[in-house]
Structure 1
Amino acid sequence: PHGVVVDPRVFVSVAPDGIVTIVGHRSEMGTGVRTSLPLIVAEEMEADWSRVKVQQAHGDEVKFGNQDTDGSRSTRHYLIPMRQIGASARTMLEQAAAKRWGVPATEVKAVNHEVVHSASGRKLGFGELAADAAKESVP
């Protein structure tokens, strides 16, 4: 919808230290979209907001989709795509953990900046899973 690219690898990166960087593809003009849109992604990812950085996107409509910032429509138009981006990133982190532990992905869950396998008590932080998660296919 509205020309947004829903590939989390375009909007989300996780550093080895666990810092999650989320790209804000719309300009901040007093409506709070530089916070609200990345916050939607972080919430869906189960990322700890205190460990999230927001990076302003450069102008690139091919890469980021429509970047017009007018009409106070950004949140209305991008709520679902940003949730999809966050959910895809979360799923990729969960799949990476499940593979590492040799368990079904249905047995793991992202919770507060880590992926947990409650049956065994194992946990891995987002940073520990970042490289493997980036290799997962986008759901």
Structure 2
Amino acid sequence: MMATLTPGAALEPITYEITRADLAAYAVASGDHNPIHQDEEIAIAVGLPGVIAHGMYTLALVGRAVAQWTGGAEVVEIGAKFVQPVVVPAEGSARVTVAGTVGERTDAGLLPLSLEVTADGTKVLGAPRAAVRA
């Protein structure tokens, strides 16, 4: 679903579902086996509301959305602050939605993307952004 990358254009929101199985697969791929991403009791014991998604997994979903919108354009910058955890229930899934707006082309020829990332309606990334060469 490639978007029209004109300044001011809204980027169609994309929603991804994250399951506990996704977290297990990401732990293997990333080497991050922190039990807060797998074990409900440990996550709660350390003060979390339950098992949470890896922050970098959440940011990777942003990268995936940017690639979908831009048709695989070169991503020059991507970043955000982690402001709320994505709680992944034992049954079913958490829903992470990435939306955004295309900014004005910079002098360097980059298109900045101003993004919004929520999980089940709650903002989970602060100041999420990307810049692409397109």
TM beyond 0.5: no
Higher strand share: 2
Q: TM-score, normalised by structure 1?
A: 0.29
Q: TM-score, normalised by structure 2?
A: 0.30
